[in-house]
Amino acid sequence: MTGGLALDCRDVTVRFMSERRAVTALEGVSLALEPGDFVTLLGPSGCGKSTLLRVIADIIAPTAGAVRVFGEAPSVARQRREIGFVFQDASLLPWRNVLDNVRLPLEVGGRRGAVPVSPEALLEMVGLAGWEKNYPHELSGGMRQRVAIARALLGGPRILLMDEPFGALDEITRDRLNEELLRIWRETGTTIVFVTHSIYEAAFLARKVLVLAPRPGRVRELVTVDLPEPRGLAVRETPEFVRLAAHLRRVLEGL
Amino acid sequence: MEDAAWRAAQRRRVWRGRLLPVAGAGALLFLWWAVVAYFHVRPFIAPAPEVVAITLYQKFGMLMDNLAPTAIESIGGFVIGNLLGIGIATVFVHCRTAEQAFFPVAVFINSIPIVAKAPILVLMLGNGLAPKIAISAVICFFPTLVNMARGLEAVSPQAVELMHVLSASRWEVFWKLRLPTSLPFLFSALKVATSTAVVGAIVGEWIGSQEGIGALIIQATYNFDSALLYAVVLCGSAFSVAFFMAVRLLERLVIRWEAASGH
């Protein structure tokens, strides 16, 4: 039974052909999340963390294994709009202003009922009130990601999948967005799966860190984070955080 | 104060940008006049600029009467050729089989020189406006087909994944993502097509026509009427430039989101 779990991945394996060579992107990865969990997927490039996110979002079909999102197949969850996805490059449509970008989910994929939180309120939540009429090329990289987060939250998804959303940002912007993401997580209560290759980001954000190894992508260890909540950036200076980061680094290196 | 000085400098730069091309064109006109006058170039080889200007003025009505059919043919060919290019590119993007079957044929037809295609179309369509419009359409068609197909494919993989996560239909992906993405590509093809459409119409008129810019060019050449020839060519290029500017204006009105990147 998978009742009650927000996400249940069992022995997920993904293989695909690349230049006449079979590549194993993921090998027997399992992960179970409670509703409201925050897990970060941490690993070097080639460990399949983005692939796992795409399997959960029904973008890639697994070669073997089973995935359940709130007890349903990913395709069902996707069609019911239970999945929100934030990409690394924000993927805003440049010909739409900020508000129309957030409203995009209302215009495609069939008629939907009223959304629990209005696009305007979501923009306020991500700190972009007053920017509704601006176009993406007028925004900074951090602001574009805020728009992408607001768009992913429209319709109140039960699980939010984030693929290195702050990877291309400068460290100062990244820190601020990390703090704000934790606030948004508390306010919405959504389950978050967050891909990163930064140890500090992984440890700061999550309740659990799934450390992955590359070629083939497989689980090294699921590390539970016992830092106090709600967290501010200052937590990164505590001995507990430093110990956790050191442990994650050792796990990453397979020691 | 510094601000005012900076703005004055900015204004000077703007005026320099406007005046220098005018001065350059004026200098070349003067050179042309000086060469014709100094070497006593005979009028049937090259006319003096003032003779061309007088011809333009005196025969303006006749020139406009002949520009009208050429304008109709090139605009008609432009519209038909580009609509076909856009339509077939849309089919190609949604049906690989059609693309693999017909793209080589399109490449082959495009590789036939326009002066060889023109007589074939005149034989098929007779002597009226139709063959000129057809030639103009054929010449516009291919660059638009190629650019439009490329534009429709130029969507970012993540945007396609986003549409998939939102369970968007193929039709929605086309309207909301592919078509807007293709517009900058389409407009660069359209801008090129404005001048090729006029070339197509003129070549069509060379093959067999009693009126139009092309017919007038042939007549003026056979009569050694160089002043009229130059005046006709000026009218044709003025129309080409106006056509190009109209499409560029339309592009600026439609594509506002790339203002910053200066596409």
Q: Do B161 and A110 touch (CB under 8 A)?
A: no
Q: What is residue A1's predicted lDDT score, i.e. its pLDDT? A: 44
Instruction: Indicate the residue of B162, B256, B257 with minimum beta-carbon distance to A87.
Output: B162
- State the pLDDT confidence band at A3, using cuts at 50, 70 and 90: low
Nearest to B172 by CA among A106, A16, A80, A212: A106
> Distances in Å between the alpha carbon of B73 and those of B83, B121, B123, B218, B245?
15, 14, 17, 18, 18
Chain A residues with CB under 8 Å of B261 CB are 137
State the maximum Cα–Cα separation within chain B, in Å, rounded to a whole number: 76
Instruction: Indicate the residue of A84, A91, A104 with minimum beta-carbon distance to B156.
Output: A91
pTM exceeds 0.90? no
Mean pLDDT (chain B) is 91
A208 vs B193: CA distance, rounded Å: 59
State how far residue A250 is from chain B, nearest Cα, in angstroms.
33
Q: What is residue B41's predicted lDDT score, i.e. its pLDDT? A: 87
Instruction: Indicate the residue of A59, A81, A110 with minimum beta-carbon distance to B161.
Output: A59
Mean pLDDT (chain A) is 93
Q: Do B167 and A81 touch (CB under 8 A)?
A: yes
A60 vs A49: CA distance, rounded Å: 13
Q: What is residue B233's predicted lDDT score, i.e. its pLDDT? A: 95
pLDDT in tens, A118-172: 999 999 999 999 999 999 999 999 999 999 999 999 989 999 999 999 999 999 9
Q: Do B158 and A136 touch (CB under 8 A)?
A: no
B131 vs B138: CA distance, rounded Å: 10
State how far residue A140 is from chain B, nearest Cα, in angstroms.
13
Chain B residues with CB under 8 Å of A85 CB are 161-162, 165
A49 vs A40: CA distance, rounded Å: 10
Q: What is residue B133's predicted lDDT score, i.e. its pLDDT? A: 95
State how far residue A61 is from chain B, nearest Cα, in angstroms.
13
B73 vs B65: CA distance, rounded Å: 14
Q: Do A95 and B177 touch (CB under 8 A)?
A: no
pLDDT in tens, A177-215: 999 999 999 999 999 999 999 999 999 999 999 999 998
Alpha-carbon A236 to chain mean position: 21
Q: Do B167 and A79 touch (CB under 8 A)?
A: yes
Q: Do A136 and B257 touch (CB under 8 A)?
A: yes
User: What letter represents residue B174's amino acid?
Assistant: F
Q: Do B159 and A91 touch (CB under 8 A)?
A: yes
Q: Strand order in A38-42's β-sheet?
A: A83-86, A159-163, A191-196, A38-42, A208-213, A218-224
Q: What is residue B3's predicted lDDT score, i.e. its pLDDT? A: 83
Question: Which residues of chain B register pLDDT less than 70?
Answer: 1, 259-263
Evaluate whether B209 touches B70 at the Cβ level (below 8 Å). Answer: no
Burial B237-248, CB ≥16 within 10 A → b, else e: eebbeebbeebe
B50 vs B205: CA distance, rounded Å: 28
Q: What is residue B263's predicted lDDT score, i.e. its pLDDT? A: 39
Alpha-carbon B152 to chain mean position: 22
- State the pLDDT confidence band at A61, using cuts at 50, 70 and 90: very high
Chain B residues with CB under 8 Å of A53 CB are none
Instruction: Indicate the residue of B156, B168, B261 with minimum beta-carbon distance to A137.
Output: B261
Instruction: Indicate the residue of A78, A87, A138 with minimum beta-carbon distance to B167.
Output: A78
